[in-house]
C-alpha cells in the first residue's frame, strides 16, 4: 500500500528524480573513556536511499546511529542535516506515553495531524451543545481543522496507523500501553515511527520481537512503499540484502562504505581484506630484503645508504592490518542413542489450545526450525520439551542419555547481579577442551571476545550483544545432545551469527530452534515445524525456502479451477474438437516437473534404504512404523507428480499434432 505523503507532490517528485544529501558526518570522533569508538568518520546519506549498518557487537553502530539522529553528540567533527529534515530513531528500549492505548500512542506521534484531529473532534463535540453565534465559530473551526488534516496527509492516516499495528502483530489497538509486554512495546514504537513518515528513519534492530510474517511485510514496506531514507541496523541478512542499496561497516573506529546489499558487501569486503593481505605480504617481503641488506653492510654509511636505512626503519614502525577477531564456538556432544526425543500425541494448553495431538521423533543430526505467529505456542513447546511445563495430554519422552541445553528468549540462566566471570564459574570451575584437557575460565571467555577488563563487569550492565555472548558461553560450557534455542539471533552481530550456524552444522546431536531469522533457517534447518493455528503443527522437510515453495504449491493447488465447459449439443458429435494446448503457467510447470519427480523418487529410495537397514529394527517398532508412513506418503507424491507430467506431456503433444 502506497502511503500518502506530507510533502507537496512537486517537492516529492523532485526528491525522487534528484537525490540530495539528508545527513552527513564530517571527521566525527567519539570515545567512551579510553576506548575510541569512532575515529574521523565521514559519510553521507541521500534522500530516499536504504543503507544497512553492520559491524561486530560493541563496534559503535548504535553510537553512530544515535549521533545521526541527534540523540548523542560527537566529541569532535560535524553533523550536517538537511534543513527541516524530520529524523526518527527506533530505540531498542522505547518509551511510550503513559495513559494511552496502543493506537493512541501511534497517533500521538503525528504532530500537526494529531493536533488538527484533536481540534476537529473538539469542535464536533462542541456543535452538539452550541447555539446561536457559537455555531458559526465552531463550524469555522471544524472546517479549518479538516483542511489542516487534509494538508497533513488526509483522514486515512488513522486507518493507516491501525493497519501498521495489525501488520506488526499488535492484536489489540485498544490495549493500554502500560499493559504491553516488551516485545509489544517495540512493535507499537515501530508502527508509530512508520506512521510519522520521517525523512530519515534510523531503525535499531527493528526485527526483534517480530514474527516471520511481520518481518516479510516490513521488508516489502521498506523496499517498495516507504518514501524516506532508511538507516537499518539489523542482524536480519535477508532484509539487508533485499532492501539496502548501500552498506556501511563500522570496524575499529572507521566506517567503510560498500555499494549493494549484504551479499555484495560480503564479496566487496572479501576483496578488500585480500588486497590488505597482499599489501602486507609485499611489505613483509620488502622488510626481509632490507633487513638482510642491513646485516651485510659496514657500519660506515653513505648518504644513499642512510636514506635506505631510514626507509626500512619507517616500514618497521608501521603496523600491519589488525587481525579480525572471531567468536570461537563449539558444542560438545554428549553420548546419546539414535532417537533423542519423542513427542507422542502432545497437546498443550495455556488458556487456549496451542498444540493439538502432535507427534514427533527427533534423531541425531536433525535440526528443526520452528516458525509461526507471535503467541502461537512456539516457546511453550520448547518449555514442555525442556521439562519446565508438563503437556496437557500426551507425553514427552526423552532418550535414556538425552542431555538438554536450553537457551530461553529472556536469557534467564544469567545472574545480572554477578560478574561475567562468576556466571561461568558458577556453572563449571574447570572447563574442558576436546579430549578432556582442562581449560581455565579466562581463556574460555576469550573465545567469546571478552577481554580481561570485562571479566568483572556485572552482566546486567552489558549491552544486549555482550549479554547474548555470555548466555552462549554458559550454554556451551557443558556437554549436551539436544539443544533448544529460543530466538538465539536476537542482539547478536552478523559475524557471531555465522559462528553459531557453523557450530550447529558441526554438532553431532539434534537441535530445535525458534527463530524469525530466515537466513539462519535456510543455512541450518533440516526441517521446519510450522504453527498453522488452532493447535495445528505440521513438520515440513527441508529448510525455510523449501517450506515456502511447498506452501506456494499448496496454495496454488487450492485455487478454484475454471468451470468445465458444457457438453456439446446433440447432433454436433462429429464436429472436430479443438485441441487445447498448454497455457504459459502450465508450460512452466511442465518444465519443472522432471526435477521434482527426480527429487521425489530420490526420497523414496532413501526411505527404502533406511527400512532395509537391519540396525533399524533393534530400536523398537515405533520408528519403523513412522518410516513406513513416510515411505507411503513419498510414493504417493511421486506417483502424483508422474501422473501430472504424463497429463501435461500428452496435452502438449496433442496440441502440436
Beta bridge mates, 41: 28
pLDDT greater than 50 at residue 14:
no
Residues 489-517 have a mean pLDDT of 91
Domains of the chain: 18-117+161-262 (3.40.50.300), 265-317 (no CATH), 339-549 (3.40.50.300), 580-656 (1.10.287.380)
Long-range CB contacts for residues 355-362, cutoff 8 Å, separation at least 24:
355/380, 355/381, 355/535, 355/537, 356/534, 356/535, 356/536, 356/537, 357/393, 357/394, 357/535, 358/394, 358/537, 359/394, 360/529, 360/539, 361/622, 361/623, 361/626, 362/482, 362/510, 362/512
Task: Look up residue 346 and give its three cell numbers.
Answer: 502432545
pLDDT for position 134: 85
pLDDT greater than 70 at residue 580:
no
Q: The dihedral of CA 626, 631, 634, 639: what is its sign?
A: negative
pLDDT for position 589: 72
pLDDT for position 23: 95
Q: Of 205-209, 567-571, 590-594, which gets the smallest average pLDDT?
A: 567-571
Q: Is the pTM above the cut of 0.85?
A: no
Phi and psi, residue 528, nearest 5° = -125, 130
pLDDT for position 218: 96
Q: Of 448-462, 529-543, 611-625, which gets the smallest average pLDDT?
A: 611-625
Distance, CA of 152 to CA of 497 (rounded, Å): 42
pLDDT greater than 70 at residue 121:
yes
Neighbouring CB atoms inside 10 A of 522's CB total 19
DSSP states of 447-461: TTT--GGGTTSBGGG
H-assigned helices in 181-333 = 182-196, 212-220, 237-243, 262-296, 303-317
Q: What is the pLDDT of residues 212-232, one digit of tens each?
A: 999 999 999 999 999 999 999
pLDDT for position 128: 85
pLDDT greater than 90 at residue 404:
yes
Burial class, 296, CB count within 10 angstroms (exposed 0-12 / middle 13-18 / buried 19+)? exposed
pLDDT for position 402: 92
Q: Of 172-181, 310-319, 503-512, 543-552, which gets the smallest average pLDDT?
A: 310-319
pLDDT for position 339: 80
pLDDT greater than 90 at residue 241:
yes
In three-state secondary structure terms, 509 is coil
In three-state secondary structure terms, 89 is strand
pLDDT greater than 90 at residue 51:
yes
Q: What is the pLDDT of residues 81-102, one digit of tens each?
A: 998 899 999 988 888 988 999 9
Confidence grade of residue 177 (pLDDT, cut at 50, 70, 90): very high
Phi and psi, residue 460, nearest 5° = -65, -20
Q: Check if the beta carbon of residue 328 is closer than 8 Å to that of residue 447.
A: yes
pLDDT for position 572: 39
pLDDT greater than 80 at residue 630:
no
Distance, CA of 611 to CA of 605 (rounded, Å): 10
Residues 564-580 have a mean pLDDT of 41
pLDDT greater than 80 at residue 239:
yes
Distance, CA of 66 to CA of 90 (rounded, Å): 10
Q: What is the pLDDT of residues 344-390, one digit of tens each?
A: 999 999 989 999 999 999 998 899 999 999 889 999 999 999 999 99
Helix (H) or strand (E) holding 539: strand 536-541
Nearest alpha-carbon partner for 41 in 57, 62, 24, 21: 24
Q: Of 125-134, 347-356, 399-408, 568-577, which gets the smallest average pLDDT?
A: 568-577
Greater model confidence, 375 or 636: 375
In a 13 Å sphere around the CA of 344, the CA atoms on its Cβ side amount to 9
Q: What is the mean pLDDT of the chain?
A: 83
H-assigned helices in 109-222 = 112-127, 133-151, 157-167, 182-196, 212-220
Nearest alpha-carbon partner for 49 in 8, 3, 18, 10: 18
pLDDT greater than 90 at residue 592:
no
358: Cβ–Cβ under 8 A, 6 or more apart, which residues? 343, 345, 346, 347, 394, 537
Q: Of 103-112, 454-463, 502-511, which gets the smallest average pLDDT?
A: 454-463
Residues 248-254 have a mean pLDDT of 93
Q: Check if the beta carbon of residue 206 is closer than 8 Å to that of residue 234.
A: yes
Give the range with max mean pLDDT: 191-205, 397-411, 546-560, 642-656: 191-205
519: Cβ–Cβ under 8 A, 6 or more apart, which residues? 236, 237, 238
Distance, CA of 91 to CA of 128 (rounded, Å): 42
pLDDT for position 17: 53
Q: What is the pLDDT of residues 423-436, one digit of tens each?
A: 888 776 555 544 55
pLDDT for position 324: 67
H-assigned helices in 387-453 = 420-427, 441-446
Q: Of 83-87, 418-422, 638-642, which gets the smallest average pLDDT?
A: 638-642
In three-state secondary structure terms, 83 is coil
pLDDT greater than 90 at residue 600:
no
Greater model confidence, 604 or 25: 25
pLDDT for position 465: 83
Q: Of 268-277, 428-437, 634-643, which gets the smallest average pLDDT?
A: 428-437
pLDDT for position 6: 29
Q: What angle do CA 476, 537, 372 make, to 5 degrees?
A: 65
Residues 278-303 have a mean pLDDT of 72
Amino acid at each position: 500500500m502506497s502511503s500518502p505523503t506530507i510533502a507537496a507532490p512537486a517537492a516529492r517528485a523532485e526528491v525522487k528524480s534528484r537525490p540530495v544529501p539528508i545527513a552527513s558526518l564530517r571527521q566525527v570522533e567519539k570515545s567512551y573513556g579510553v576506548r575510541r569508538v569512532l575515529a574521523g568518520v565521514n559519510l553521507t546519506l541521500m534522500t530516499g536511499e536504504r543503507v544497512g549498518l553492520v559491524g561486530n557487537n560493541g563496534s559503535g553502530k548504535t553510537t553512530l546511529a544515535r549521533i545521526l539522529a541527534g540523540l548523542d553528540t560527537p566529541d569532535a567533527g560535524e553533523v550536517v542535516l538537511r534543513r527541516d529534515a524530520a529524523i526518527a530513531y527506533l530505540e531498542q528500549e522505547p518509551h511510550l506515553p503513559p495513559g494511552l492505548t496502543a493506537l493512541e500512542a501511534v497517533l500521538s506521534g503525528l504532530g500537526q495531524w494529531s493536533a488538527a484531529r484533536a481540534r476537529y473532534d473538539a469542535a464536533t463535540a462542541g456543535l452538539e451543545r452550541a447555539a446561536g453565534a457559537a455555531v458559526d465559530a465552531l463550524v469555522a473551526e471544524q472546517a479549518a481543522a479538516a483542511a489542516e488534516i487534509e494538508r497533513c496527509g488526509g483522514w486515512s492516516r488513522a486507518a493507516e496507523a491501525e493497519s501498521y499495528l495489525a501488520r506488526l502483530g499488535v492484536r489489540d489497538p485498544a490495549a493500554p500501553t502500560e499493559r504491553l509486554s516488551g516485545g509489544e512495546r517495540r512493535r507499537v514504537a515501530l508502527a508509530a515511527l512508520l506512521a510519522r513518515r520521517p525523512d530519515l528513519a534510523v531503525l535499531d534492530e527493528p526485527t526483534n520481537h517480530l514474527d516471520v510474517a511481520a518481518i516479510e511485510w516490513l521488508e516489502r514496506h521498506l523496499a517498495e512503499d516507504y518514501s524516506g531514507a532508511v538507516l537499518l541496523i539489523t542482524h536480519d541478512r535477508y532484509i539487508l540484502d533485499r532492501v539496502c542499496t548501500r552498506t556501511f561497516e563500522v570496524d575499529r573506529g572507521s566506517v567503510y562504505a560498500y555499494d549493494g546489499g549484504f551479499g555484495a558487501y560480503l564479496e566487496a569486503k572479501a576483496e578488500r581484506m585480500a588486497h590488505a593481505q597482499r599489501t602486507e605480504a609485499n611489505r613483509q617481503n620488502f622488510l626481509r630484503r632490507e633487513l638482510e641488506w642491513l646485516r651485510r653492510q659496514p657500519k660506515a654509511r653513505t648518504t644513499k645508504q642512510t636514506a635506505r636505512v631510514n626507509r626500512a626503519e619507517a616500514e618497521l614502525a608501521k603496523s600491519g592490518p589488525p587481525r579480525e577477531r572471531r567468536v570461537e564456538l563449539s558444542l560438545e556432544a554428549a553420548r546419546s542413542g539414535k532417537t533423542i526425543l519423542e513427542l507422542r500425541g502432545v497437546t498443550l494448553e495455556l488458556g487456549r489450545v496451542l498444540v493439538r495431538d502432535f507427534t514427533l521423533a527427533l534423531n541425531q543430526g536433525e535440526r528443526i526450525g520452528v516458525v509461526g505467529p507471535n503467541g502461537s505456542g512456539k516457546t511453550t513447546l520448547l518449555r514442555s520439551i525442556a521439562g519446565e511445563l508438563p503437556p496437557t495430554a500426551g507425553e514427552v519422552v526423552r532418550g535414556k542419555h538425552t542431555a538438554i541445553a536450553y537457551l530461553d528468549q529472556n536469557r534467564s540462566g544469567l545472574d545480572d547481579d554477578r560478574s561475567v566471570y562468576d556466571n561461568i564459574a558458577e556453572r563449571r570451575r574447570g572447563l574442558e577442551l576436546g579430549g578432556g584437557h582442562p581449560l581455565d575460565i579466562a581463556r574460555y571467555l576469550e573465545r567469546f571476545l571478552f577481554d580481561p577488563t570485562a571479566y568483572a563487569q556485572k552482566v546486567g550492565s552489558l549491552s544486549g550483544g555482550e549479554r547474548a555472548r555470555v548466555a552462549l558461553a554458559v550454554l556451551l560450557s557443558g556437554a549436551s545432545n539436544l539443544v533448544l534455542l529460543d530466538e538465539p539471533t536476537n542482539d547478536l552481530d552478523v559475524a557471531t551469527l555465522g559462528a553459531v550456524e557453523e557450530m550447529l552444522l558441526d554438532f553431532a546431536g539434534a537441535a530445535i530452534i525458534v527463530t524469525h531469522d530466515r537466513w539462519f533457517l535456510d543455512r541450518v534447518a533440516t526441517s521446519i515445524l510450522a504453527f498453522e493455528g488452532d493447535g495445528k503443527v505440521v513438520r515440513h522437510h527441508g529448510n525455510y525456502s523449501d517450506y515456502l515453495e511447498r506452501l506456494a504449491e499448496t496454495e496454488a493447488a487450492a485455487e478454484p479451477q475454471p468451470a468445465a465447459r458444457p457438453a456439446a449439443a446433440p447432433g454436433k458429435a462429429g464436429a472436430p474438437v479443438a485441441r487445447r494446448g498448454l497455457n504459459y503457467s502450465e508450460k512452466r510447470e511442465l518444465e519443472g516437473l522432471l526435477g521434482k519427480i527426480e527429487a521425489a523418487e530420490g526420497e523414496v529410495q532413501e526411505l527404502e534404504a533406511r527400512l532395509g537397514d537391519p540396525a533399524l529394527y533393534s530400536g523398537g517398532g515405533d520408528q519403523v512404523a513412522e518410516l513406513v508412513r513416510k515411505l507411503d506418503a513419498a510414493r504417493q507424491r511421486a506417483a502424483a507428480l508422474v501422473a501430472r507430467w504424463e497429463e501435461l506431456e500428452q496435452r502438449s503433444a496433442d496440441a502440436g499434432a
